[in-house]
Amino acid sequence: MPESAPGAGIRFLSSTDGLVKRQPLAVAGVLLLTLFVFCALFAPWLAPQDPAALDLHGRLVGPSAAHLFGTDELGRDILSRVLYGARISLIVAVSVVGLSLAIGLVAGCMAGFYGGWLDTAINLYIMNAFLALPGILLAIAFVAFMGPGLGNVIVALAISGWVGYARLVRGQVMAVKEREFVEAARALGASDLRILSRHVLPNIIQPLIVQAAIGMATAVMAEATLSFLGLGVPPPAASWGSMLNDARSHLFDSPHMVFFPAMAVMLCVLSFNFIGDALRDYMDPRTRLRAGL
């Protein structure tokens, strides 16, 4: 056993090195996302100050040793607010994608598996009705009616985002339900629920994972947009979008107020997009064959 350990370590390092060379953006995405998750989980310990603490004597201070990212117009530490803003963005991303995926999975499975009038009602009427309005406008209208708040933002974005998952699930289910193993399970007397859970869903999960990864990037951008418009999490909670909104009037005299939250949004979105693209390439047999994965 001791003699085989070095060989195993060398093989691990060589495979890791090969992964970095083949998928550098995927590795960068995983590292960035790990950093954001770490910051979100340990924000109370990493933040140098209370993100809501006011210091009017130290307002609009540029990056310094005391405030690495500077302070905003109310003297609040921007680094602390960026760290706590990561919590809001990741909570919204995971919650919106989870809720949208759950709704889309049920609607798509029912429409694709049963077809007929149920497919017509769900696909032709309900989905098209939601697609008739841009998703962000639908979310803005919902939050404006219900009021700002984290829960309302999550529900609003899920209501506007489930259609994409439903259409994807419907198409995949319609293709899989005609396969021989599904016909064999039906001939053996398996119930519809068992066929869906044991035979259909495992064969459509791969594109859903890719869609979910990219959907998290969209959710982060949408939450930042709503917060920028004043329809996100109400103050004094820190949100990247609301920080950008506060920085509008100080774009030229205090550009650090714009730079750091904008970089946080950009890097977080890029991390999800890099991971989604890498998952799509990895799950495509033709791409894996060309890349030697």
Q: What percent of the chain is modeled with pLDDT above 90? A: 41
Contact 208, 165 (CB under 8 A): yes
How confident is residue 43, by pLDDT bands cut at 50, 70 and 90?
very high
- Calculate mean pLDDT across residues 172-198: 86
- Calculate mean pLDDT across residues 8-28: 59
Angstrom distances, CA of residue 97 to CA of 156, 161, 189, 210, 216: 12, 8, 34, 12, 6
How confident is residue 128, by pLDDT bands cut at 50, 70 and 90?
confident
Q: Which residues pair with 77 in a beta bridge?
A: 71
Sequence length of the chain is 293
Please report the pLDDT score of residue 18 as a whole number. Answer: 52
Q: Which two tokens stand for residue 138?
A: 């639908």
Q: Measure the CA–CA gap between 131 and 284, rounded to whole angstroms.
A: 28
Q: Which of 20-34, 62-76, 148-162, 242-256 has the lowest mean pLDDT?
A: 20-34
- Calculate mean pLDDT across residues 108-134: 87
What residue ranges define each of the domains in the chain, with the CATH number in brackets? 22-45+67-291 (1.10.3720.10)
Please report the pLDDT score of residue 203 as a whole number. Answer: 86
Please report the pLDDT score of residue 94 as a whole number. Answer: 95
Question: Which of 20-24, 58-62, 96-100, 188-192 shows the highest mean pLDDT?
Answer: 96-100
Is there a cis peptide before residue 202, judged by omega within 30 degrees of 0?
no
Average pLDDT, the chain: 85
Structure confidence by residue, pLDDT tens digits, 74-100: 989 999 999 999 999 999 999 999 999
Top pLDDT among 256 and 284 is at 256
What count of other Cβ atoms lies within 10 Å of the Cβ of residue 272? Answer: 25
Q: Above 70 in pLDDT, residue 17?
A: no
DSSP SS3 for 60? coil
Please report the pLDDT score of residue 13 as a whole number. Answer: 41
Q: Measure the CA–CA gap between 200 and 169, rounded to whole angstroms.
A: 10
Structure confidence by residue, pLDDT tens digits, 215-227: 999 999 999 999 9
Q: Above 70 in pLDDT, residue 258?
A: yes
Q: Measure the CA–CA gap between 89 and 240, rounded to whole angstroms.
A: 8
Angstrom distances, CA of residue 62 to CA of 55, 83, 197, 207, 249: 14, 18, 56, 45, 16
Please report the pLDDT score of residue 15 as a whole number. Answer: 46
- Calculate mean pLDDT across residues 136-165: 89
Structure confidence by residue, pLDDT tens digits, 101-112: 999 999 999 998
Top pLDDT among 25 and 213 is at 213
Q: Above 50 in pLDDT, residue 16?
A: no
- Type of residue numbered 244: L
